Amino acid sequence: MGFIGLTLLKTLVFSGILLVALLYLQWVERKIIAHIQLRVGPSRVGPHGLLQPFADVIKLLTKEDVMSPYVSKALYLFAPFLAVTLALVSVAIMPFGPEVQIFGVRTHLQLTDLNIGVLFLLAVSSLGVYGIALAGWSSNNKYALLGGLRSCSQMISYELPMTLAVVAPLLLLNTLSLREIVEAQRGFYFGFIPRWTIFHWPAPQTIGFLVFLVAAFAETNRVPFDLPEAENELVAGFHTEYSSLKFASFFMAEYANMITGCNFATVLFLGGWQPLLPHSLGADYFPSVLFGLVGAVALYHGLNPARSRDTRTLPVVALAFWILAATFLVPAVQRIFLPLFWFALKAGFLLFVFIWVRGTLPRFRYDQLMRFSWKLLFPVAMANLLVTGLLVALLEA
């Protein structure tokens, strides 16, 4: 299998997984927010609402595509295309795992590695502003214009603390390539603390990580920074005039941006695919234990059901998790899937934080939002960078 064939295969696999993840991220979000709000969420379409994303896709695709005659056609049609393309492109450089050997083919679990990987991600997020700004402007609608303007200024204001928070770990790791960033976080302090950037000695990047996370909330227009698409403020913000497939594109772009932000935070601050525990403490059995516990919880809730339907579905879920736990005990599977498991665990935890915050916090007002960025977040990120630089210069020279 030549280079082109292998890359095409990897592209198909990665984009397939990304699209399925996008589809089911929406289901996960609706279920988690529902349970936070003490209700059930989608539960009718398929068992536990698992077929709900397909119902949503069919609904969005078969809706009438209403286009007002007063819009600027070229920009109106270009904006969602731009938003979705830029959101999906970052999966090309994310390192999901080390170099592995699958059926005799040695390959990295990463589509490609640029030696300016971090700059590429920052560039893509800078260009993402255009999708929203042009959508707001071309809709020829004052609510959309206001939403587009607010979102534009919010995104460029929060790009600054995000970039500063990204620069500080780069001082410690001395490379811009994402693969080398993950490789540099290998190893453990004292045998059990992983050498991730947030635990780095002498300059732990916990403040930088928090600043990056808050800035990522603002960059992806998520609660508490979702004023540009607030429904009780601006009708629907910048995507007021969009319907059917174009609206679905903006929706998909928002979730893809969320996944990109969480992946980037995982790679830069949480050590990418590096494990949490060293081999000597049994890290290889961690996924099996975790899935076994989840299966046990599911079985318990299946036997003491909250609703009568659960006696049929939750034991099946428990069985599925136990089969998964059993497959993770096989060494051949472990070699390839353990790094993927760690990456998915960390990125998944950050996605859970995104969804958790959406169900918990109220929304910032626009002037509070801008004041927070310029007067609090930017000085904190700058101070973090200065302290990190000072420590690096004094102690690692």
Partner 1 sequence: MVVVLFLLFAAVAVGCAVNVVLQSHPIVSAVSLVGVMGSLALLYLQLGSPFIAAIQIIVYAGAVMVLFVFVIMLLNAGSEVHTGRSLVARYIGIPLLVLLLGLLTFLIKALLRTSAAVEFGEFTVATQDVGQALFTEYLLPFEFTSILILIAILGAVVLARKELN
User: Identity (one letter) of the amino acid at 319?
Assistant: L
Report residue 85 as tokens. Answer: 């393309």
User: Identity (one letter) of the amino acid at 325?
Assistant: A
Segment interacting with partner 1 (CB under 8 A) among 150-158, 203-211, 266-274, 337-345: 150-158
User: Identity (one letter) of the amino acid at 185?
Assistant: Q
Nearest to 359 by CA among 39, 41, 34: 34
The 167-186 contact track toward partner 1, x by CB under 8 A, reads ---------x----------
Question: In terms of CB distance, is 306 or 397 closer to partner 1?
Answer: 397
Distances in Å between the Cα of 150 and the Cα atoms of 77, 92, 204, 217 are 21, 30, 34, 15
Segment interacting with partner 1 (CB under 8 A) among 28-36, 62-70, 124-132, 304-312: 124-132
Does position 320 bind partner 1 by CB under 8 A?
no
Query: Which residues lie closer than 8 Å to 142 by C-beta, 6 or more apart?
Result: none
Segment interacting with partner 1 (CB under 8 A) among 97-105, 119-127, 228-236, 388-396: 119-127
Query: Which residues lie closer than 8 Å to 324 by C-beta, 6 or more apart?
Result: 291
Among 120, 285, 352, 366, binds partner 1 (CB under 8 A): 120
Does position 166 bind partner 1 by CB under 8 A?
no
Question: In terms of CB distance, is 114 or 357 closer to partner 1?
Answer: 114
- Look at residue 105 and give its three-state secondary structure: strand
Shortest separation between residue 212's beta carbon and partner 1, angstroms: 16
Distance CA(200)–CA(213), nearest Å, equals 18
Does position 126 bind partner 1 by CB under 8 A?
yes
- Look at residue 393 and give its three-state secondary structure: helix
Contact 300, 277 (CB under 8 A): no
Does position 234 bind partner 1 by CB under 8 A?
no
Shortest separation between residue 137's beta carbon and partner 1, angstroms: 5
Does position 102 bind partner 1 by CB under 8 A?
no
Question: In terms of CB distance, is 122 or 230 closer to partner 1?
Answer: 122
Does position 374 bind partner 1 by CB under 8 A?
no
Distance CA(45)–CA(359), nearest Å, equals 23
Q: Considering just the CA atoms, what is the radius of gyration of the chain in Å?
A: 22
Shortest separation between residue 159's beta carbon and partner 1, angstroms: 8
Does position 370 bind partner 1 by CB under 8 A?
no
E strand or H helix at 101, and its extent? strand 97-102
Does position 153 bind partner 1 by CB under 8 A?
yes
E strand or H helix at 73, and its extent? helix 73-88
Among 8, 20, 119, 323, binds partner 1 (CB under 8 A): 119
Does position 298 bind partner 1 by CB under 8 A?
no
Report residue 12 as tokens. Answer: 């198909």
Shortest separation between residue 223's beta carbon and partner 1, angstroms: 24
Among 129, 173, 203, 236, binds partner 1 (CB under 8 A): 129
Report residue 210 as tokens. Answer: 């928090």
Does position 390 bind partner 1 by CB under 8 A?
no
Nearest to 215 by CA among 207, 90, 385, 87: 207
Does position 285 bind partner 1 by CB under 8 A?
no
Distances in Å between the Cα of 330 and the Cα atoms of 60, 109, 253, 273, 321 are 42, 20, 37, 19, 15
Does position 259 bind partner 1 by CB under 8 A?
no
Among 41, 49, 97, 136, binds partner 1 (CB under 8 A): 136
Q: How many residues bind partner 1 (CB under 8 A)?
A: 26
The 46-75 contact track toward partner 1, x by CB under 8 A, reads ----------------------------xx
Report residue 280 as tokens. Answer: 């000597």
Which residues contribute to the site for partner 1 (CB under 8 A)? Answer: 74-75, 78, 114-116, 119-120, 122-123, 126-127, 129-130, 133-134, 136-137, 145, 148-149, 152-153, 156, 159, 176
